[in-house]
Amino acid sequence: MPEEIKSGTELPAIREEIELHTSDGLTLVGELALPESGDPVATLVALHPLPTHGGFMDSHILRKASARLPALADVAVLRFNFRGVTSPRGTSQGEFGDGVDERFDLQAAMDFVAARGLPHPWLLGWSFGTEVALKWGLAQPVEGAILLSPPLRRTTDAELAAWAGSGKRLVAVVPELDDFLRPPEAAARFAVVPETEFVAVEGGRHLWVGEAQSYRVLSEIVARVNPAALPLPTEY
């Protein structure tokens, strides 16, 4: 009998512990989750929240994306710890780079994607991860970037405006009750990229706590990378 998908549900996938190697000599730890059968239709490169405030590759939305989307949406999910970050998977070498040195981490992840031939990569940033995506992702061969709770604290207006006309999709998922940047202010900042797909989530909060918010965020992600898989099942 089907069972309800809950916070801790981990659906079938091929899961591989991986290492990434940066051009400045560090080894980062991570995991690749692939559909159990068949090739993935798209790839999410997950960039986690702020390490100095507890962000890591297991931050819950990214963990749930990895736990569910290979099975529910035929999507590959690559998660890793930024430099200096520890999770149950292990510790990545190096020290926090305040969104600057993490460009080497992103490059290492994209090199891995290329080496494995993973299709149609998208950046999936959450909070601090959105800053890394916006600052350094434009130069990467990605379909676009999905931004969850973007604070736009480390991203300059010029860095954001550079995405305009790039041909890469930019999706901003902004919670109504965000702690840092709420929809009216976010809409004004993102106006420099007129093609931004702007999603204001009523009742949403920065940390997307609760199954209803998790389901909404995962649905917004899948709507971009494999819309044919919607609506996401709530049982498996």
Q: Do the domain assignments include residue 7?
A: no
DSSP states of 71-97: HHH-EEEEEEPPTT-EETTEE-SS---
CATH of the domain at 177: 3.40.50.1820
Per-residue pLDDT of 177-204, as tens digits, reads: 999 999 999 999 999 999 999 999 999 9
* pLDDT > 70 in the chain, percent: 100
Span 94-115, average pLDDT? 98
Whole-number pLDDT of residue 49: 98
Whole-number pLDDT of residue 229: 98
User: Would you say the pTM of this structure is higher than 0.95?
Assistant: yes
Per-residue pLDDT of 115-144, as tens digits, reads: 999 999 999 999 999 999 999 999 999 999
Q: Do the domain assignments include residue 133?
A: yes
Would you give the DSSP letter of residue 127?
T
Q: Do the domain assignments include residue 127?
A: yes
Question: What does the mean pLDDT of the chain come to?
Answer: 98
Task: For residues 174 and 201, give the distance between their C-alpha atoms in angstroms, rounded to a whole number.
Answer: 6
Q: Do the domain assignments include residue 235?
A: no
Q: Do the domain assignments include residue 233?
A: no
In the numeric block, which tokens belong to residue 231?
Answer: 């609506």
Domain enclosing residue 89, as ranges: 15-228
Per-residue pLDDT of 49-76, as tens digits, reads: 999 999 999 999 999 999 999 999 999 9
Whole-number pLDDT of residue 213: 98
Task: Provide the number of structural domains found in the chain.
Answer: 1
Q: Do the domain assignments include residue 188?
A: yes
Span 149-178, average pLDDT? 98
Q: Do the domain assignments include residue 189?
A: yes
Q: Do the domain assignments include residue 234?
A: no
| pLDDT interval class at 80 (50, 70, 90) | very high
Per-residue pLDDT of 4-55, as tens digits, reads: 999 999 999 999 999 999 999 999 999 999 999 999 999 999 999 999 999 9
Question: Can you say whether the dihedral through the CA atoms of 6, 7, 8, 9 is positive or negative?
Answer: positive
Task: For residues 182 and 213, give the distance between their C-alpha atoms in angstroms, rounded to a whole number.
Answer: 16
